Chains A and B, each alone.
Chain A
Amino acid sequence: MGVSIKDNKLLRINLTANKIVVESIDLDLVKKYLGGRGLASKIFVDEVSPDVDPYSEENKLLFANGLLSGTTAPTGGRYMVITKGPLTGTIASSNSGGFFGAELRKAGYLIVLIEGKSDKPVYISIRDDEVEIKDATYLWGKDTHFTTDKMLEEFGDKHARVSCIGPAGENLVKFAAIINDKGRAAGRTGVGAVMGSKKLKGIIVRGTKTIEFDDKAKFMDVVKTKIDILRKDAITGEGLPKLGTKVLDNIINQNGLYPTKNFQFGTFESVDEVSGEALVEKKYLQTNKACFACPIGCGRVVTLPDGSDGEGPEYETGWAFGADCGVKDLVAITKANFMCNQLGLDTISTGSTIASLMELYEKGYVPKEDLNNSTEPKFGSSEAIIYYTKAIAYREGLGDKLAEGSYRFTESYGHPEFSMTVKKQEIPAYDPRGAQGHALEYATSNRGACHVRGYMISPEILGVPEKLETQKLEGKAGWVKTFQDLTAVIDSAGLCLFTSFALGADDYRELINAATGFNLTTEETMQIGERIWNLERIFNLKAGIKPEDDTLPKRFLNDPMPDGPQKGAVVHLDKLLPEYYKVRGWTNDGHVPENKVKELDI
């Protein structure tokens, strides 16, 4: 059975009332917000009050495919999870690859919207038009791998795909992830905890429909040209497939912005022990792996000497448990990664929260008696990263406080200045002092600190599409706006951000137009991104986030980088931020004026 790409459905599941309804999505709304992050955010803000308690019945959780998800568009397998996040209190949208999203689209749904709350653990079973809410009591407390296997067994079709939470989501860890296909994560912002609060253990889906186009030949033609570009590009055609994201360890370290020991330093002396090259030399790396419809294949499949295996570590994870915790033991780092996948934790926030504990402990702010005779959290301790990862997921001992994230944890000891967060979300693996544009991106990201809302490392360090001087301020605000808006388009089209190393706004516009028959200009395409960015901003401001929260930890503003090529650098947010508000067309104090709302027709 075929379904037109323009005939999109929303599957609404109310867990309080045990009610399932299928609704049609207005095509005009799709033209304005595409799908994925944009469309789901629009539906979310129209239905949910900004002051909603993230764990309340009134909060909603949307699994949203991008407009091109499930098609043969290159990397068209991404889906997003949208909700109000417990970690930041902002609109939370978390992106994942793998195969779950595409399968959901083939079952006929662009979006699954979960509302209400179940009083007992349940999971949702989707077999094309057959949708059921099923008992998950026997799965509660189990990890994501066991859960995935059991759900598949009960479903009776090995081609089905599962997205689920582990114990961390059930225990409302504020940075719990949702894991699909066992090794792919909607990792950030605590979307897994919202799922846990609704007692929803997982979703299993099997879809057998095909997506149809008005002019299939034209769409396939455009797809082919874009795949060619991706295959011929040095990064997407060679660098990422061969080396994966962990090629960045040495690049970022040599450039001097590789955050070490909770961002106290910008270089890590043991980088050679933990880098992507080490993963190959030590023979842990088995092969690379691609998500649905992906010609890049950056995923890493790894087996450790003890026989344990899984996906990762990627660059961010390897850093979070490695350099950020001062750990040079690649086996322990990889094990911590596997644990996060199974327990359902965001690796960046987990590693960085442990790093904040290590700094507090070494500075004497966490008394030894608070450890209750458990592992000493010292920088460099392999035992500590393993022990506290588990303790966080189960909220055991000090893990209970750590499960609140590094901001609330360090604040509970009176020292929030040691939390490396923006809007209470942990900062990823690039010291903001080493790239001024990327620093601005962290400070203004709508979901708290994030590197994939406008990846300024690409121009500032990697030289793509052109090389910008890291410490220069001029023009950076404009670059950040463009990157943020374009990323919102890519996230809403359902494509992987890595395509943007080779593709530009024109390419995405061509793909969207060929698939749908829309006649978007490049300017209109970018305006969709700007519309989404402003929609998120307005929600956040109404939710109580203040423009004053567009900032960074004092360490980056006041303490010059102590080492490496970026020695002496601080972030000049005082100069960058006013310029950013200006290029965004916002008021001087960071609010979105009425004329901007009208211009973007939000």
Chain B
Amino acid sequence: MLNIKEVEVDTEKEEITIREVLNIAEKKIGKPFLYKMLNKDGEIMRGTIILINGRNILHINKLDSVVHNKDIVSLFPPGGGG
């Protein structure tokens, strides 16, 4: 989506929400991308995949899901195939 494979998000907190992580990452990258993943109400768009250590946040606590230090967050824009 951004031609960026990895970005590290540094924080002083032990745990932060995925919403905060995404906002920090967007600032750090300096290129807006959240508009492609979240709708105007700030909810996750259909088909967007956000994983914390391979678990989809829709089954954790959506954008309030908690991310711990060293967790891996994966972001995928809507994609499909067969």
Q: CB of A510 within 8 A of chain B?
A: no
Interface flags, B1-18, vs A, CB<8A=1, else 0: 000010000000000000
Report the bound CA distance from A245 to B80 in whole Å. Answer: 6
Residues in A whose Cβ lies below 8 Å from that of B77? 234, 238-239
CB of A238 within 8 A of CB of B82, answer no
Q: CB of B55 within 8 A of chain A?
A: yes
- Asked whether A501 and B54 contact (CB < 8 A) given A234-B45, A462-B47, A463-B47, the answer is no
Q: Between A and B, how many residue pairs show CB distances below 8 Å?
A: 92
Residues in A whose Cβ lies below 8 Å from that of B56? 255, 463, 467
B50: nearest residue on chain A (CB-CB)? A463
Report the bound CA distance from A400 to B22 in whole Å. Answer: 54
Report the bound CA distance from A246 to B79 in whole Å. Answer: 9
Q: CB of A50 within 8 A of chain B?
A: no
Q: CB of B81 within 8 A of chain A?
A: yes
- Asked whether A254 and B51 contact (CB < 8 A) given A234-B45, A464-B46, the answer is yes
CB of B54 within 8 A of CB of A234, answer no
Interface flags, B23-60, vs A, CB<8A=1, else 0: 00000000000000000000001111101011110110
Q: Please give the distance in Å from B52's CB to the nearest CB on chain A.
A: 10
CB of A235 within 8 A of CB of B58, answer no
Report the bound CA distance from A322 to B47 in whole Å. Answer: 26
CB of A251 within 8 A of CB of B78, answer no
Interface size class of B (residues with CB under 8 A): 20 to 34
CB of A254 within 8 A of CB of B82, answer no
Q: Please give the distance in Å from A291's CB to the nearest CB on chain B.
A: 14
Residues in B whose Cβ lies below 8 Å from that of A235? 47, 78-80
- Asked whether A247 and B79 contact (CB < 8 A) given A256-B54, A467-B59, A565-B54, the answer is yes
Report the bound CA distance from A35 to B79 in whole Å. Answer: 29
CB of B53 within 8 A of CB of A314, answer no
- Asked whether A462 and B79 contact (CB < 8 A) given A234-B47, A255-B51, A467-B56, the answer is yes
- Asked whether A248 and B79 contact (CB < 8 A) given A234-B46, A462-B49, A463-B47, the answer is yes
Interface size class of A (residues with CB under 8 A): 35 or more
Residue among B49, B53, B58, B79 with the highest chain A CB neighbour number at 10 A:
B79
Q: CB of A465 within 8 A of chain B?
A: yes
Report the bound CA distance from A465 to B47 in whole Å. Answer: 8
Q: CB of A458 within 8 A of chain B?
A: yes
Residues in B whose Cβ lies below 8 Å from that of A571? none
Q: Please give the distance in Å from A526's CB to the nearest CB on chain B.
A: 21
Q: Please give the distance in Å from A308's CB to the nearest CB on chain B.
A: 24
Q: Please give the distance in Å from B31's CB to the nearest CB on chain A.
A: 17
Report the bound CA distance from A325 to B55 in whole Å. Answer: 26
Residues in B whose Cβ lies below 8 Å from that of A497? 82
CB of B59 within 8 A of CB of A246, answer no
Interface flags, A462-485, vs B, CB<8A=1, else 0: 111111010000000000000000
Report the bound CA distance from A85 to B38 in whole Å. Answer: 46
Q: Please give the distance in Å from B42's CB to the nearest CB on chain A.
A: 17
